[in-house]
Amino acid sequence: MSLSAQDFLTDFHHTATIGATANGGVDRQAGTAKDGEIRSWFRDWGTERGYPVRVDSIGNMFMLAEWTPGVPFVLVGSHLDSQPLAGRFDGAYGVVAAMHVLREIDAEVQASGEKPSYNLGVVNWFNEEGARFAPSIMGSSVFVGLMNEQDTLSVSDSSGTRVGEALEGIGFLGTDPRPEVATYAEIHIEQGRILEREGIPLGTVDRSWYTQKLDIEVLGEQSHTGATSMADRRDALVAASKIVVMVNEVTEDFEEDTLLSSVGQMHIEPNSPIVVPRRVHLVADLRSDSQEIVQAARATLLEKFDVLAADHRVEVNVEDFDVRPPRHFQESGLELVEKLMADKGLDTRRIRTRAGHDAVALSTQVPSVLLFVPSVDGVSHCEREFTEDEDLVTGLDALTEVARALVDGALQD
């Protein structure tokens, strides 16, 4: 293994020590102290090596090699925030790989004295995960104009702290200008089993799934668990529990794995062992490659919720939330990756992503490339998420090739 690959692995494994959890994962939710700590590490890494780091007004960080002043940047990166009790690879891999791409290409530029057509920057997008502050993919969505910055800064976490306050609290509510972006590249673990099963080291993402959430509020009446007759109850938690089961079972109306659903978050009021709950707030997640399937499932659920509300004498309020149409990555980017990898003799395959990524947001504005490396058992958003060092390094080399082509003007003609 090359020295530069070893350096990359050293830096990557170092990130896992920031917010490390008991079982080998990390917990660095956006805007928390641990997010602040890894951001400081990212900034110091850049400035120590002579790359200025800008922070914009939604907390995105840009580490820049501005070889030619005034020329737009190829941005490469991902996110350093994580889910609670998350794996070490999701996001961090893409950022640390991008840092080493920058170092490698900058060394080549310094050695040759020849300036590429575009400048190069590494980006750490704010709050890709959407765990503490919903929805996800915040920083990159504000960057490309899919989300309004002021509204986003006002989003509150469950304890009432706003995005703006949290960023200010960790010292990362910046005022720097955003770099002008020419093209974008990102590498990520697959979060699925396709590459592992097929033994292919690199995937190139052609499109994302249609996804949407339902923000659901169930309103019952608070009462004493011991003193209230069963017939007199308006139990918000019993009704909400049936909703969780309905959201799970609606997938059975469709072919296997054409629809994915879940309820991951639920808040119960007042949440005391001796009180029948008055209110439950929950978020359901529906995803499919087909918009029609998500919409059919949504319609089925809304009908069932109406019947449930009447049966249980509760109110069920539902709002569509975080609706994301499928996005196609540019064909030119897919072909570029395929050509470059064929030249290296590396197998690739086109792949769809069910999960959201910053690259999906970027692709709405500039030509963008999203690469996947294999992930053991396809598990993610959990502490046992794992990718082999060898696969990480193969991905780093691929990303370096792509970035080299991009700074030389590929996808710009």
Choices 35-43, 81-89, 145-153, 333-341 (CB under 8 A): range interacting with its own copies: 81-89
Contact pick of 117, 156, 228, 300 for its own copies (by CB under 8 A): 228
- We find the least distance from the C-beta atom of residue 92 to its own copies, in angstroms, to be 15
**Is 78 a binder of its own copies (CB under 8 A)?**
no
Contact pick of 5, 9, 71, 85 for its own copies (by CB under 8 A): 85
The answer to whether the beta carbons of residues 279 and 266 sit under 8 Å apart is no
The answer to whether the beta carbons of residues 188 and 78 sit under 8 Å apart is yes
Q: Which residues sit opposite 372 in a β-bridge? A: 188, 203
The burial of 386, by beta-carbon neighbours within 10 Å (0-12 exposed, 13-18 middle, 19 or more buried), is given as middle
Report how far residue 11's alpha carbon sits from residue 171's, in angstroms, rounded to the nearest whole number: 23
**Is 381 a binder of its own copies (CB under 8 A)?**
yes
Interface with its own copies in residues 139-158 (CB under 8 A): none
**Is 209 a binder of its own copies (CB under 8 A)?**
yes
Strands 202-208 and 348-353: parallel
- We find the least distance from the C-beta atom of residue 3 to its own copies, in angstroms, to be 34
Closest CA to 133 of 167, 103, 158: 158
The answer to whether the beta carbons of residues 324 and 356 sit under 8 Å apart is yes
**Is 301 a binder of its own copies (CB under 8 A)?**
no
Choices 44-52, 114-122, 338-346, 352-360 (CB under 8 A): range interacting with its own copies: 352-360
**Is 358 a binder of its own copies (CB under 8 A)?**
no
**Is 40 a binder of its own copies (CB under 8 A)?**
no
Contact pick of 84, 169, 326, 409 for its own copies (by CB under 8 A): 84
**Is 270 a binder of its own copies (CB under 8 A)?**
yes
**Is 3 a binder of its own copies (CB under 8 A)?**
no
Closest CA to 166 of 35, 53, 78, 63: 35
- We find the least distance from the C-beta atom of residue 11 to its own copies, in angstroms, to be 25
3-state secondary structure 372-407: EECCHHHCCCCCCCCCCHHHHHHHHHHHHHHHHHHH
**Is 260 a binder of its own copies (CB under 8 A)?**
yes
Residues 54/57/58/59 CA torsion (nearest 10 deg): 30
Contact pick of 56, 104, 383, 391 for its own copies (by CB under 8 A): 383
- We find the least distance from the C-beta atom of residue 172 to its own copies, in angstroms, to be 21
